[in-house]
Chain A
């Protein structure tokens, strides 16, 4: 077994293990840090799939952006209530049954399907330049739409959280 294979199985186990901790751990801050490890491991799996630009984007946007936002939300909202998450037993059992059934169905689908995979995996010297060309060519319209979506989300987030300004103050 060569190094690549060993590393792949390491990240395979790490991804699943840390995701289990994200879901089961009681402390919310600990869950956020386990989520960070999961996101790093998914970025590593992107590297195995030869998606280097996407791996870098995953680290920058998810770990650097979304996770900081999540931690910020945890700190802002956990003042009075305790960070411990108690679970109700009945809800826990029914949700467990639903997710395990979902897992089993999807597992069977993946197992039974005869995947028509190519003999060799996708390989490239680096995807950054081809992704840049695709954004400016084939994917120009989605790129513009997504930029407008981001702008709207930004304005909307500010609008929702800001304090109400009274009429007489504004005048």
Chain B
């Protein structure tokens, strides 16, 4: 249970999140990838504050990160719903009206 172990979990979650964002054909799956990335960041903050500074500063930052993730998910899903009403699809490849 050393710092490196938490960092390994964190980098694996981050890479998987990036993979999901790059490959998925559905906006909600992309949101799931973003949530994985945010979780890996929060885990990093908490691990560093636990092992290096040994106080609750990192936990506070992770707490604010969770709050911002909640706000982000709410706005993301409302955008997805209005895109779905407009295009009847949430595939990012099909919602390309602004493309020249």
Determine if B97 is an interface residue (Cβ-Cβ < 8 Å): no
Q: Are B56 and A131 in contact (CB under 8 A)?
A: yes
Q: Are A150 and B71 in contact (CB under 8 A)?
A: yes
Q: Are B81 and A53 in contact (CB under 8 A)?
A: no
Chain B neighbourhood of A135, CB < 8 A: 60
Complex Cα–Cα for A66 and B72 (A): 10
- Partner pick for A49 among B6, B33, B84, CB 8 A cutoff: B6
Q: Are A122 and B49 in contact (CB under 8 A)?
A: yes
Contact with B along A53-67 (1 / 0, CB 8 A): 110011001100110
Complex Cα–Cα for A156 and B11 (A): 33
Complex Cα–Cα for A58 and B46 (A): 12
Interface residue count for A (Cβ, 8 Å)?
A: 79
The chain B residue with its CB closest to the CB of A41 is B9
Give the contacts of B53-100 with A (CB-CB under 8 A): 54-56, 59-60, 62-64, 66-75, 77-82, 84, 88-91
Q: Are A149 and B68 in contact (CB under 8 A)?
A: yes
Please report whether the interface of chain B is mostly helix, strand, loop or mixed according to DSSP. helix
Complex Cα–Cα for A35 and B24 (A): 15
Q: Are A99 and B22 in contact (CB under 8 A)?
A: yes
Q: A134-B60, A161-B82 are in contact. Are A73 and B77 (CB under 8 A)?
A: yes
Q: A42-B39, A61-B70, A160-B75 are in contact. Are A77 and B1 (CB under 8 A)?
A: no
Chain B neighbourhood of A58, CB < 8 A: 42, 66
A108 to chain B, nearest CB (A): 10
Q: Are B25 and A70 in contact (CB under 8 A)?
A: no
Q: Are B19 and A23 in contact (CB under 8 A)?
A: yes
Q: Are B71 and A54 in contact (CB under 8 A)?
A: no
A21 to chain B, nearest CB (A): 10
Binding site for A on B (CB under 8 A): 1-9, 11-20, 22-26, 28-29, 31-33, 35-36, 39, 42-43, 46-47, 49-52, 54-56, 59-60, 62-64, 66-75, 77-82, 84, 88-91
Binding site for B on A (CB under 8 A): 4-5, 8, 12, 15-16, 19-20, 22-23, 28, 31-32, 35, 38-39, 42, 45-46, 48-51, 53-54, 57-58, 61-62, 65-66, 69-70, 72-74, 76-77, 80-81, 85-87, 91-92, 95-96, 98-100, 102-103, 106-107, 110-111, 115-118, 121-122, 127, 130-131, 134-135, 139, 142, 146, 149-150, 153-154, 156-158, 160-161
